[in-house]
Amino acid sequence: MIDINLIRTNPEKVKENIKKKFQDHKLHLVDEVLEWDKKVRQLKQEGDELRSKRNVLSGQIGNLMKAGNKAEADKIKAEVVKNNERIAALEKETAELDAKIKQNMMSIPNIIADDVPIGEDDSKNVQEQTFLEAKVPDFEVPYHTDILEKLNGIDIDSARKTSGQGFYYLTGDIARLHSAILSYARDFMINKGFTYVIPPFMIHSSVVQGVMSFEEMGNMMYKIEGEDLYLIGTSEHSMIGRFMDTIIPEEKLPITLTSYSPCFRKEKGAHGLEERGIYRIHQFEKQEMIVICKPEDSEEWYKKMWNYTVELFVSMKIPVRTLVCCSGDLADLKYRSLDVEAWSPRQKKYFEVGSCSNLTDAQARRLGIRYKTEKGNQFAHTLNNTVVAPPRMLIAFVENHLQADGSVTIPEVLWPYMGGTKVIKPNK
pLDDT in tens, 260-290: 999 998 876 544 444 467 888 899 999 999 9
Beta strands at 423-424 and 408-409: parallel, antiparallel or unpaired: antiparallel
| Cα dihedral 264, 268, 270, 276 sign | positive
Q: What is residue 276's predicted lDDT score, i.e. its pLDDT? A: 63
Mean pLDDT of the chain: 93
Which residues does residue 126 pair with via DSSP β-bridges, in sequence order? 324
Q: How far is CA 238 from the centre of its chain?
A: 10
Q: What is residue 275's predicted lDDT score, i.e. its pLDDT? A: 46
Query: How large is the greatest C-alpha to C-alpha distance in the chain, in angstroms?
Result: 109
Question: Are 43 and 28 a contacting pair, CB within 8 Å?
Answer: no
In angstroms, the CA 134 to CA 142 distance is 17
DSSP class of 418: G
Q: What is the CATH number of domain 122-424?
A: 3.30.930.10
Q: What is residue 137's predicted lDDT score, i.e. its pLDDT? A: 95
DSSP assignment of 136-161 equals: --SS----HHHHHHHTT-EEHHHHHH
CATH topology of domain 4-107: Helix Hairpins (1.10.287)
Q: What is residue 266's predicted lDDT score, i.e. its pLDDT? A: 87
**Helix, strand, or coil (residue 268):** coil
Q: What is residue 269's predicted lDDT score, i.e. its pLDDT? A: 52
118: closest CA among 300, 269, 329, 321? 329
In angstroms, the CA 346 to CA 401 distance is 12
Can you list the residues of the chain whose pLDDT is less than 50?
270-275
In angstroms, the CA 373 to CA 250 distance is 6
Strands (E), 294-368: 320-324, 336-344, 349-358
Q: What is residue 274's predicted lDDT score, i.e. its pLDDT? A: 46
pTM: 0.90
Q: What is residue 175's predicted lDDT score, i.e. its pLDDT? A: 96
pLDDT per residue over 33-86, tens digit each?
999 999 999 999 999 999 988 888 887 887 887 787 878 888 888 888 898 999
Strands (E), 34-153: 126-131
Domain coordinates of the chain in residue numbers? Answer: 4-107, 122-424
